[in-house]
Structure 1
Amino acid sequence: MSDAVVVLIVLATGTYAMKAAGPLVLGDRRLPARISSLVDLLPAALLASLAAVSTMGDGASIVIDARLVGMAVAGLALWKRAPFVVVIVLASMATAIVRALG
Structure 2
Amino acid sequence: MSSGAELVAATAVLGAGTFAFRFAGPVLRSRMTLPGRAERLLEVAVVVLLAALVATSALTDAHTFAGPARPAGVAVGALSAWRGAPFLVVVVAAAATTAVLRLIGAP
When normalised by structure 1's length, the TM-score is 0.69
How many pairs were matched up? Answer: 102
| 1:77 to partner: Cα distance | 0.7
User: 2 CA distance for matches of 1:31 and 1:62?
Assistant: 40
Equivalent positions of 1:26-41 (< 5 A) are 26-27=29-30
Structure 1, unmatched stretches of 5+, are none
**Superposition CA RMSD, Å:** 2.8
Could you tell me the percent identity over the aligned residues? Answer: 37
What residue in structure 2 maps to residue 84 of structure 1?
A: 87
What residue in structure 1 maps to residue 53 of structure 2?
A: 50
What residue in structure 1 maps to residue 70 of structure 2?
A: 67
Whichever residue aligns with residue 20 of structure 2, its letter is A
Structure of larger gyration radius = 2
Whichever residue aligns with residue 99 of structure 2, its letter is A
User: 2 CA distance for matches of 1:19 and 1:32?
Assistant: 22
| 1:54 to partner: Cα distance | 2.6
User: 1 CA distance for matches of 2:44 and 2:87?
Assistant: 20
Selected match of 2:12 from 6, 9, 12? 9
When normalised by structure 2's length, the TM-score is 0.67
